[in-house]
């Protein structure tokens, strides 16, 4: 049982995935609070920079370190579908909390609920099932992950609304979370949004919106990778668009693909062909050794094949 593993561990490492979002980091921060109460030695680890400085409002996020400790005897991972994205070389006991349909069940214990709308929902339910008291800091972290992954409660289930109201009662600050996660647009992100919407193409009878973001566009606007996300979501509000495809040229080479599907198509299934994954409605992948045009063409032909049922 995972609770016993936590009890007997002396140094527990909480791992957020590379370039973490509010769900991954919020989950890890909630556990950080809980484990400190148990007087455990805890390390909050991420293999990359946080990137999005707005996430530093999460309690304990300032404790994050980028060197994996040698004396780790238990690892807990959050919101990460594959072991590779953890960026660690560790072979000991591991507890895997996630909600991605593509999760590879790489843990000793795997708490993967694909019906949960965030990993913080999986953690919240685990805390409740194990009679663990949720303090104000934990509530704030769990709420932040839920808010981000549901796009500020655009996606809901009865369980999610119940969880949200319970966390507010336990001390989560809705206004602070909204401000940090949705209310802080940079001028650079607005400039990029204008460029992206101007260059957007509609293909497959207008049902697929395609965005290609080059390093030059990022340089011109001063924006960063995560700033590409919002225009992608916005395109799905066009009546005819059911799928939105974003391809970003990476500085390190290769192309990062993000896919959003609002109906019929399964984004995770489409990108699994390219080593990616995620959820039915949103997924991501990285393609190496291709130009941005080649990457888009590959994904579009995959979408065409699946849509035609071949």
List interacting residues with Mn ion (CB under 5 A): 23, 79, 119, 149
Nearest residue (CB) to Mn ion, 45 versus 292: 45
- Angle 136-149/119-129 helices, nearest 10 degrees? 140
Q: Judged by CB, which is closer to Mn ion: 119, or 141?
A: 119
- Measure the CA–CA gap between 142 and 28, rounded to whole angstroms: 9
* Distance of closest approach, residue 276 Cβ to Mn ion, in angstroms: 15
Least separation in angstroms between residue 257's CB and Mn ion is 18
| Smallest separation (angstroms) from Mn ion to the CB of 115 | 13
Radius of gyration of the chain (CA): 19
Question: Which residues are 13's β-sheet partners?
Answer: 43, 75
What's the half-sphere exposure (Cβ side, CA atoms, 13 Å) at 148?
A: 28
Decide: helix, strand or coil at residue 300. helix
We find the least distance from the C-beta atom of residue 100 to Mn ion, in angstroms, to be 7
Nearest approach, Cβ of residue 233 and Mn ion (Å): 15
Dist. CA 139–CA 150, nearest whole Å: 16
Q: Which is nearer to Mn ion, 23 or 249 (CB)?
A: 23
Q: Please say which residue, 149 or 249, places its beta carbon nearer to Mn ion.
A: 149
According to DSSP, the β-strands at 201-203 and 41-45 are unpaired
Residue among 263, 264, 255 nearest 284 (CA): 255
Positive/negative CA dihedral, 86, 104, 27, 154: positive
DSSP letter at 81 equals S
Q: Which is nearer to Mn ion, 151 or 173 (CB)?
A: 151
Nearer to Mn ion, 120 or 243 (CB): 120
The residue among 231 and 278 lying less far from Mn ion, judged by its C-beta, is: 278
Taking alpha carbons only, the member of 193, 192, 212 closest to residue 297 is 212
CA–CA separation, 117 and 112 (whole Å): 11
**CB of residue 79 to Mn ion, shortest distance in Å:** 4
- And the tokens for 76? 């807990």
Nearest residue relative to Mn ion (C-beta): 23
- C-beta of 23 vs 52, nearer to Mn ion: 23
Helix (H, G, I), strand (E, B) or coil at 258: strand
Q: How far is the CB of 195 from Mn ion (least distance, A)?
A: 28
**Are the beta carbons of 298 and 256 closer than 8 angstroms?**
no
Residue 92 CA to residue 281 CA, distance in Å, equals 33
Least Å from the CB of residue 119 to Mn ion:
5
- Contact present, 255 and 249 (Cβ < 8 Å): yes
């Amino acid at each position: 049982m995972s609770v016993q593993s936590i009890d007997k561990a002396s140094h527990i490492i909480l791992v957020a995935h590379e370039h973490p979002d509010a769900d991954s980091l919020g989950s890890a921060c909630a556990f950080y609070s809980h484990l400190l109460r148990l007087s455990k030695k805890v390390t909050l680890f991420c293999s990359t920079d946080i990137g999005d400085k707005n996430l530093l409002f999460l309690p304990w996020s300032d404790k994050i370190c980028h060197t994996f400790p040698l004396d780790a005897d238990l690892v807990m991972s959050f919101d990460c579908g594959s072991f590779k994205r953890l960026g660690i070389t560790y072979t000991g006991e591991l507890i895997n909390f996630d909600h991605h349909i593509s999760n590879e069940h790489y843990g000793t214990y795997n708490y993967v609920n694909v019906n949960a709308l965030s990993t913080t929902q999986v953690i919240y339910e685990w805390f409740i099932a194990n009679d663990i008291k949720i303090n104000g800091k934990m509530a704030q972290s769990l709420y932040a992950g839920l808010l981000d992954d549901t796009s500020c409660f655009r996606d809901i289930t009865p369980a999610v609304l119940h969880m949200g109201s319970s966390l507010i009662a336990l001390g989560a600050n809705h206004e602070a979370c909204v401000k940090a996660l949705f209310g802080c647009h940079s001028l650079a992100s607005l400039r990029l949004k204008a460029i992206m919407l101007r260059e957007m193409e509609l293909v497959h009878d207008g049902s697929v919106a395609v965005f290609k973001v080059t390093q030059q566009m990022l340089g011109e606007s001063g924006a960063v990778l995560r700033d590409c996300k919002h225009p992608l979501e916005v395109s799905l509000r066009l009546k005819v668009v059911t799928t939105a495809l974003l391809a970003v040229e990476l500085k390190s080479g290769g192309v990062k693909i993000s896919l959003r599907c609002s109906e019929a198509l399964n984004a995770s299934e489409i990108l699994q062909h390219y080593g990616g994954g995620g959820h039915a409605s949103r997924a991501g992948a990285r393609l190496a050794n291709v130009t941005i045009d080649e990457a888009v063409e590959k994904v579009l032909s995959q979408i065409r094949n699946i849509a035609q049922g071949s």
